[in-house]
Every structure is written in C-alpha cells, then in structure tokens.
Chains A and B, each alone.
Chain A
C-alpha cells in the first residue's frame, strides 16, 4: 500500500508530550508523519513549505494552537494570513492544493491530534504520490513550485501579508481601512504577477529566451509576457542578452 511521506510542522505548544519529538538531530516521531517541531506555527515561512514540496513531500500539514490560545499571542493568526498566500501560490503550481493543510490542536489532547493526522493522511493517500517525489520528478510542476517558492520570498508579497491586520482592521494614520475583499483581490493579483515573473526569471536563467519562446513554454499570450518583461527589466531582474534575427533574447540577472 502507498505510504505517503508527510511532513508535519507542529508548533511546540500543540505537540502532545509522549510523542517522541523529532527535533534535531534525528527525526523519528509518529510513524504516520514526520514531525518537525517548531516553536510557533507563525514561524513557518511559505518558502519553507514550498521547499518541502520541492523536496518531494507527498503532503505538508502545519499544526498550530487554536485561537485565542496561541502561546505567542497571535502567531496562529500570522500563520493563517500567510496560509492564504501560500494556498493561492500552490494553486498556480499544478500540485493539488489538498496536499497542504493548516489545522489546530492542543498539546493536552492527544486524540484530536491523532484524528487530524489520520484524516490528513487519508486525504493524501487518495491523491497518491506527489509528482515531485521519486527519481524523476515532473519537470513542469517542479519549475512551478520553485517559481512559487521564489515568489513567496518576494518583498512586496511578504510586506502585504505581514501588514494584513494593520491594513484591514487597524486604520492607517488617515483613519482608512481596506475592505477585506479588496485586500484579498490585491493579494491574489500580486501573487499571480510575482509567480509569473519568477517563472520567467528561472527560465531565462537557464538560457536566454525570446518573448515568443517564453509564451510558448508558459502557455501564455506574448503580450502578457512582454508586459512582465518590461516590468522585470525595470526592476533589474532581467537584461537584454542579444538579438537573434529580429527577436530580442533576455537573460536573468542575479536577484536577492
């Protein structure tokens, strides 16, 4: 039977004692998932989760304290806000979004914890092996996941996510707040843009490519690609490499 490789990022305060904790150096843990203990679920950077998928995990679950009992006051809210961005990014990669879950548990209650893990495991078993696991990972999806990972490291996205509460609930100096819907739309728009640009960045890093070639690889309109190319040149992400016949070829620059 298929045995999924599940990574559980569990907050120190949600991890029931008696479960052999997988902290450095060795990871043992609950056989149904690999427990990676962290101090707070709010510490889980989307970059870490996407990297974990890139490394071939079949499923990733993040377990935090239920609101309002976060040990670090609001780390679980931070985790939740970041998860919104993460889910959106994941949906762009072609990996099933159900391979990722955020859930809540108390360290004092072992049975609910076990139920969560079992339930998630069954969900992952239904999805089967991750296309990124094994010797020959799906190149297209891997490219997408790496692009998503780079997008998650982006300044703009991270700032927006980190300031969600401030922007939506606490008013700015002019007493203005942004409605939640509007914020989400903005967030998703930026997620899509960043994802697209990071993908171009990775592709042009391998070899110089033209707009037409990029549009073909990415299955997008050449005008869309061009718009992003212009933007990326302005940001200093890519540079004109050389011109073949009439088509300019672009090459990635080192960023961050």
Chain B
C-alpha cells in the first residue's frame, strides 16, 4: 500500500475538482464538510493529502476552481477561499499538536530543500514511518513560500505554523546546510541515508541578456524578493520598472510600492491576455496603482554614473502562436521608447542553481534535472528529484504533487518494489448533464467571498482580508457545490450523508447469526445471551442485515421498512388495496 493508493477510491471517476488537483486533494470532500460547518474536520481531510491548507488557501492557482462544474450554471465554487477560511479558523482556535508518528522503518531518507516539494515528500514519508531529515541552506524552512512570496500575500507565521505541523510529526529539518557545500550526495550516503530526494527549486533569476544589466539599481526578482523577506532594506527610489508578466513580476511591483516607490510600471512583451500571473493578482496590482506597459521589451538599460536612469524598450506586435500556444511577440523596428527608472527589476523567469550538481543528473538542454515524470527517478538509483528543479518554475501545489509522487517512489524503492506499477492509471472525470432533473436554485456566488482587499492601505500586512470572517457565508458558499463525484469519501461519518445505523430488537432476535454472515463490515457480534449486538463504530448503515434477518428483528434508524413504505405510499397517493 502506498500513500497515494490509500486515498484513492475504488469507485470509478473523480469529481473534476479533485481530478484537476496536481496533489489529488479531495476537494469535494472538504467542501462537503464545510457545508456541515465542520471546518476543523475539513482541514484534517486536506492534511490527508497535503500539509499546506493555509498556504494553498492563499496562493494556490486553484485548478480545482477552474474545473468546477458549477461554472456551467453561474460561477465556480470559491474553493480557495473556503480552504483558507477553514485553515484560519483551525489556527485561531488553536491547532492540536499531533503526536509524532512511530518510526516503523530503519532506512533514513534525506531530502535536500525545504520548499513545498521537499516538505511534502518528507510529510508523506514520515507518515509511512521513515526517519526523514530535510536539509535547507536558508536560515528558515519554506523555500519560495518563505522567501519568494511576499508577506502581504502570505504571512511568514502562516508558513511557520504549517511547517511546525510537519515537524511535530517527527520530520527533522536542518537549516544552514547547503547542497554542494555542507552536504554532498556521497556525504549523505556515508551518513547512512538510503534514499535522497533533491528538491532545491529554481533559485536564480533568468538574466535579460541586454546591455546595462549589471548597473547599480538593477535587482533580479528572485533575489530582490528574497532580500526583502530576509529583512534587508532596499531603496528603490521613486520610479520602478519591472520586466515580465508572471506572478514574480506582480510580486516585485507590489513590493516596490510598499517600499515607497511612487511610480511602478510593469513592462511585458505580450498583452494582458497572455500574462501568466493570476488574474486576481493582476487586478489587485492595478487597483494599487501599478501601471502596465504591454507589448514592450527592453533593448538596453541606460545608466548614469554606474546607476540606472532609464530602460529603452522596443514596441512589439503579436505574431503566430509559439510552442506555449501564446502568440509570439515580434519587435517593430524603429519603435524605441524610453522609460525613466531609478530601479529595474527583471522578472522573466527562474533557473536552478546547478554548478554543484553531478553532471550525470543534469540535462543542460532542458536546464533541469532529468527525471521520469511519473516516478521522479533520476539516472542514479537512490536519487530522486522533483519540484522546480525538474520542471522549471511552477506552483506550490504542483511541487506538493511532485513531493507526493517522490514519496511513493522512495517507499517502493526502499522496499524493492516496482516503481512504475499501477501508477499511470488514467483518471476518469465525472460527467454532468445540465438538463437532467431539477437543480435546486441556489444563489450566485457570495460576493463577499471575492477578494475584498484591504487595498486602501498598501502595507506588508496580509492585504487579502477576505470573507468578512463569516462562517455562515462560507457554509452557504460550500452548499453551492453540485457534488459531481459519487461519494466524496469525506470520512466525516456522522450526519453527512444520512449515515444510518442498524438497531436490534433483542426480544425478537434468536441468535441465528445470519446478520453477522451478511454484514460486509463485521459490525455484528453476539453477546453472552447469544443476542446480536451492533457495533455502531463499524456499522455503515447499508441495511443489508435488516433485509436479511429471518426474524425481522433488525431495523434501521432512518431507512426503516415503515419509513420506506411510507415514502412509497406518499408516492402512489394511496394506501394498500
């Protein structure tokens, strides 16, 4: 049994939200729990598959929401906000410290990099009973979640809280240990680590490759955001030009505003439609006063006395679609344009730091560690790799997915099992037909669930003061879920889906034991008097025993024979002839 196959259901087909999630989070399940106002339980359910409910509730690009069937009717269910609220409620009410998990395996596992990929792999492995050590070169764990995403989007204590949970389970995190310096593959092996997972991410900014890039006042986005997170004070001046269209560019621009810049401009070589940044982030940046210059690409950075004073740009037009499906920008000759700037922040991509990686691992062409995408195995048998180091810069949830896959592979590798078996089964999605039956009319999305930014004050405090802290609103929002999947397997037994229980009439029971024979769950035992007793913790309320009992001594609390027949009578509108 692997970590992932435990959570998969035998039922065919998944709801689209869950099928869309790279980390296989049971979306329908936790939404179903929130419908019942069970916020803590819903966080528990999320933790079955990934350890970052509060983080993903803030920064996830929420493919689940994009896949939501509800959008066919009005708007998708606000899944990310629900997750965030549930996680916040749990944190505010005080999370119960989990007991460390018993170590049932001897083989030590080393994980290099305490970002989302490394931490989620550690989380899965520690749950399987392995001793796990995570090595991190920075002073704090969290990777890009700690040093990449600015604090107004994701407060540091939120990250710290979720990492504390992983530590509580028994994962050891060693900070200040850099791969290639303090630790090497060989040194880890000699310390007795039987498997190594490399998840060091993509920590270098891609260079623009134009003249003037080494002038004073040019900060590359990754390093810029990391320095701010480390508490460095950077004077960005009044005018800032950010180059790029991804989330890092938006982060750099909004951070610059918070550092006192008056005039922040994002230069992007394509148009708004092609921007890879999250739509609500773009919206927020616009509202805060960030200006956008589309179809512009830098030709050179102009300096005066060794410091930036302007960026010279070329105007672009969009040509044919390229490999990414977006239209390729083509420069227009003679369209040079000059933007004044005190600071220039290129944010056009990230690259992994690779100088210390064994060359056998690294694919120079792809600029990544080459791995089998399914099993994440590398060219070296005991070394696995995942996250941004193999894919290029991606998202938290994709890194979590990679961490989970790596954990399964490492578990199998250490047990000498086939890494590939039963893993590439295709996930089938449910279908849902609009004109079938009656959909109870439910209100459109609760508007207060939309990002209600504290935009009036631009600060490093978390801006996203959403939800108006209303549990009631969240419950109503969760009820908009259509429940596309059959059973969400939310594991919230009581009262969620009419969990019924069998009841024995002891006066009628003759102790024939047939109920125990037919019960699929072994929930029936006999007492000393040979009378059947139902163990309610095992009874799932199917009613098979009730329909089998030769003495008709077993009845169901909800779906009793009388109740079923009463339903029949109501339907037929008349009593028995």
Chain A residues in the interface with B (C-beta under 8 A): 5, 7, 9, 12-13, 16-20, 22-28, 30, 34, 36, 38-40, 42-45, 47-48, 51-52, 54-57, 68-69, 71-75, 78, 82, 106-111, 114, 132-133, 137, 142, 153-156, 158-159, 161-163, 166, 256
Q: Evaluate contact between A7 and B439: CB separation under 8 angstroms.
A: no
Is the pair A75, B437 in contact by a Cβ cutoff of 8 Å? no
14 cross-chain CB contacts under 8 A: A7-B568, A18-B432, A20-B438, A24-B563, A40-B544, A43-B542, A55-B574, A71-B11, A108-B11, A108-B12, A153-B552, A154-B550, A158-B550, A163-B517
Complex-state Cα separation, A27 to B432, whole angstroms: 23
Interface assignment of B561: CB less than 8 Å from any CB of chain A: yes
For the complex formed, measure the closest distance between the CB of A190 and the CB atoms of chain B, giving whole angstroms: 13
- Which of B13, B559, B570 interacts with A39 by CB under 8 Å? B559
- Give complex CA distance A155, B551 in Å: 6
Q: A43-B547, A75-B520, A132-B577 are in contact. Are A158 and B572 (CB under 8 A)?
A: no
Please determine whether A75 and B432 come into contact, CB atoms closer than 8 angstroms: no
Is there contact, CB below 8 Å, between A75 and B486?
Answer: no
**B540 with A72: CB separation less than 8 A:** yes
Distance in angstroms between the alpha carbons of A13 and B305 in the assembled complex: 74
Quote the shortest CB–CB distance from A165 to chain B (angstroms): 8
Interface membership of B35, Cβ < 8 A: no
Task: Report which of B482, B498, B520, B568 forms a contact with A36, defined as CB distance below 8 A.
Answer: B568
Check A16 against B577 for contact (C-beta < 8 Å): no
Among candidates B487, B550, B552, residue contacting A159 with C-beta atoms closer than 8 Å? B550
CB atoms of A69 and B11 under 8 A apart: yes
Tell yes or no: B497 within 8 A of A by CB: yes
Q: Closest B-chain residue to A114, C-beta based? A: B436
**A110 and B12 contacting across the interface, CB-CB below 8 Å:** no
The answer to whether B436 touches A73 (Cβ under 8 A) is: no
CB <8 Å contact, A43 and B546: yes
Cβ–Cβ contact B561 & A7, under 8 A: no
B577:A54 contact, CB within 8 angstroms: yes
Shortest Cβ gap from A158 to chain B (Å): 4
Number of A-B contacts defined by CB within 8 Å: 177
Q: Give me the interface of B with A, judged by CB distance under 8 Å.
A: 10-13, 430-433, 436-440, 482-487, 497-498, 500, 512, 514, 517-518, 520-521, 540-544, 546-552, 556, 559, 561, 563-572, 574-577
Q: When the two chains form their complex, are residues A40 and B543 in contact, meaning their CB atoms are under 8 A apart?
A: yes
- Chain A residues with CB under 8 Å of B542's CB are 39-40, 42-43, 71-72, 75
Task: Enumerate chain A residues within 8 angstroms of B561, measured Cβ to Cβ.
Answer: 45, 47-48
User: Which residue of A has the minimal Cβ distance to B436?
Assistant: A110
Q: Is the CB of B556 within 8 A of A51?
A: no
B572 near A56 with CB under 8 A, answer: yes
B-chain residues with CB within 8 Å of residue A111 when the two chains form the complex:
431, 433
- Since A18-B482, A55-B577, A159-B512 are in contact, a sample of 5 more A-B pairs with Cβ atoms closer than 8 Å, ordered by chain A residue number, is A20-B437, A39-B500, A73-B521, A107-B486, A162-B514
Known: A109-B431, A132-B577. Contact between A39 and B543, CB under 8 A? yes
Q: Report the minimum CB–CB distance from A206 to chain B (whole Å).
A: 16
The 9 closest A-B pairs by CB, nearest first: A43-B543, A34-B571, A137-B577, A72-B542, A73-B520, A40-B542, A42-B544, A19-B437, A45-B547
The answer on a CB contact under 8 Å between B430 and A27 is no
- B253 CB → nearest A CB, Å: 43
Partner of A166, one of B517, B552, B577: B517
Prevailing SS type, chain A contact patch = loop
Q: Provide the residues of chain A in CB contact with B518, threshold 8 Å.
A: 42, 78, 162
Q: Does the CB pair A155–B550 fall under 8 Å? A: yes
Min distance, Cβ B269 to any Cβ of chain A, angstroms: 44
Quick one: given A56-B572, A56-B574, A78-B548, are A108 and B565 in contact (CB under 8 Å)? no
Whether A108 and B430, one on each chain, are in contact in the complex, defined by CB atoms closer than 8 angstroms, is: yes
Complex CA gap A51/B563 in Å reads 13
Q: How far is the CB of B10 from chain A (nearest CB, A)?
A: 6
Which listed residue, B12, B549, B567, B574, touches A158 by the CB 8 Å rule? B549
| Chain A residue nearest to B481 in the complex (CB) | A17
Q: How far is the CB of B498 from the nearest CB of chain A, in Å?
A: 7
Per a CB cutoff under 8 Å, which of B12, B497, B572 touches A12? Answer: B497
Output the least CB separation between B493 and chain A (Å).
Answer: 13
Please name all residues of chain B whose beta carbon is closer than 8 Å to the beta carbon of A107 when the two chains form the complex. Answer: 486
Give which listed residue, A22, A78, A133, contacts B567 with CB less than 8 A.
Answer: A22
Residues from chain B with Cβ under 8 Å of A71 in the complex? 11, 486-487, 542
Task: Please indicate the chain A residues that have their CB under 8 angstroms from the CB of B550 in the complex.
Answer: 154-156, 158-159, 162
A114 to B544, CA, bound (A): 26
CA distance A52 to B65 in the complex (A): 44
Query: Chain B nearest CB: distance from A95 CB in Å?
Result: 13
Query: Using Cβ atoms and an 8 Å threshold, which residues of chain A touch B565?
Result: 48, 51-52, 55
Task: Give the residue name and chain of the A residue nearest to B483 (CB).
Answer: A17
- Cα of A89 to Cα of B398 in the assembled complex, Å: 58
Residues of A within 8 A of B486 (CB): 13, 71, 106-108
A55 to B517, CA, bound (A): 32
Q: How far is the CA of A108 from the CA of B436 in the complex (A)?
A: 12
Contact B544 A36 (CB under 8 A): no
How distant is A130 from chain B, measured CB to nearest CB, in Å?
10
CA distance A137 to B574 in the complex (A): 13
* CB <8 Å contact, B544 and A72: yes
Q: Which residues of B contact A56 (CB under 8 A)?
A: 572, 574, 576-577
Q: Is the CB of B547 within 8 A of A55?
A: no
* List of A residues within 8 angstroms of B575 by Cβ: 55
- On chain A, the residues within 8 Å of B572 by CB distance are 5, 7, 34, 55-57
Question: How far is the CB of A137 from the nearest CB of chain B, in Å?
Answer: 4
Alpha-carbon separation in the docked complex, A179 to B544 (Å): 25
Bound-state Cα–Cα, A121 to B497, Å: 29
- Complex partner residue of B514 from A73, A159, A256, CB under 8 angstroms: A159
Q: Which residues of A contact B576 (CB under 8 A)?
A: 51, 54-56
